């Protein structure tokens, strides 16, 4: 009985009986869909050996099937990666991205700052020329990898270290990506006693490249009565923004 190995042409395939659409393929091609479609138009003949010998498959159909197969596997791989990342975030097991050796993101010493006044009742200095986006309870200023977010909320209890460690820090860990809390402290600024939480986290994947970077963050909490304002400063880990971040956090004023 002839075997698939006897076929020298890549355009002839064997079909195992009694499953005429299960392909015993040659080493280089898998053409299930193409062959099934082709056989709808022509019936293979019995070779008398318990097997069906398929008719020759046109080269154009073979090439089309190969392209479709590559696209299918590519789509499956992308979907699997996205699902895996989502499952990791849900389980809180996203791995920390390795920091870049020479990260971009330094705010220039020559940067000009302007005063931003919020309708929530405070003002603060922000870099001139940065993109601004306003939301219901948040205003964000950004420039490339740098980000300043001002979020307004309510406070039901005194703002102190105990509250920061029991509620604010866990909230950051829950909402962020591969968060590592570096420190929780109280600092005294012109606006009064402020809670500061420093932490590292992964960025969200880039919309085009899907790349993530490791970021360093400082979040300052300012309280007045029942109003709580969170100032979040974000930059690539290793960027030198110590002086600029100090200027921004110290410029906060209640109106």
Write the CATH number for 154.
3.40.1000.10
223/156 same-domain check: yes
Neighbouring CB atoms inside 10 A of 88's CB total 14
87/117 same-domain check: no
Residue 117 has what pLDDT? 97
79/199 same-domain check: no
12/69 same-domain check: yes
Compute the distance between CA of residue 16 and CA of residue 21 in angstroms, rounded to an integer.
8
Q: Each residue's pLDDT tens digit in the chain (255 positions)?
A: 444 444 444 444 434 434 444 444 444 444 454 555 555 555 555 555 444 444 455 666 666 766 666 665 445 544 544 554 454 454 457 999 999 888 888 999 999 999 999 999 999 999 999 999 999 999 999 998 899 999 999 998 999 999 999 999 999 999 999 999 999 999 999 999 999 999 999 999 999 999 999 999 999 999 999 999 999 999 999 999 999 999 999 999 999
Residue 105 belongs to a domain: no
Residue 247 belongs to a domain: yes
Average pLDDT, the chain: 79
233/130 same-domain check: yes
> Domain tally for the chain?
2
Domain containing 85 equals 4-91
205/147 same-domain check: yes
- For residue range 122-131, what is the model confidence (pLDDT) as tens digits? 999 999 999 9
38/118 same-domain check: no
- For residue range 22-42, what is the model confidence (pLDDT) as tens digits? 444 444 444 454 555 555 555
Instruction: Please provide the distance, in angstroms rounded to a whole number, between the alpha carbons at the two ends of the chain.
Output: 93
User: Looking at 59, 91, 123, which one is the last position of a domain?
Assistant: 91
């Amino acid at each position: 009985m002839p075997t698939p190995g006897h076929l020298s042409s890549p355009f002839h395939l064997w079909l195992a009986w009694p499953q005429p659409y299960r392909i015993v393929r040659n080493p280089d091609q898998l053409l299930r869909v193409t062959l099934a479609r082709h056989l709808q138009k022509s019936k293979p003949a019995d070779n008398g050996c318990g097997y069906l010998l398929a008719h020759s498959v046109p080269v154009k159909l073979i090439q089309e099937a190969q392209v479709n197969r590559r696209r299918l596997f590519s789509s499956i791989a992308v979907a699997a990666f996205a699902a895996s990342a989502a499952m990791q975030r849900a389980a809180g097991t996203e791995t920390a991205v390795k920091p870049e050796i020479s990260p971009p993101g330094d705010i220039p010493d020559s940067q000009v700052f302007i005063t931003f006044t919020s309708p929530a009742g405070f003002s603060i200095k922000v870099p001139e020329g940065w993109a601004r986006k306003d939301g219901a309870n948040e205003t964000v200023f950004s420039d490339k990898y740098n980000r300043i977010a001002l979020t307004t909320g309510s406070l039901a209890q005194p703002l102190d270290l105990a509250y920061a460690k029991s509620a604010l820090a866990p909230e950051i860990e829950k909402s962020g990506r591969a968060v590592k809390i570096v420190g929780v402290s109280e600092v005294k600024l012109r606006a009064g006693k402020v809670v500061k939480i420093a932490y590292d986290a992964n960025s969200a994947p880039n919309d085009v490249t899907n790349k993530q970077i490791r970021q360093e963050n400082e979040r300052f909490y300012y309280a007045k009565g029942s109003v709580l304002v969170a100032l979040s400063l974000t930059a690539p880990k290793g960027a030198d923004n110590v002086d600029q971040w100090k200027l921004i956090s110290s410029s906060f004023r209640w109106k």
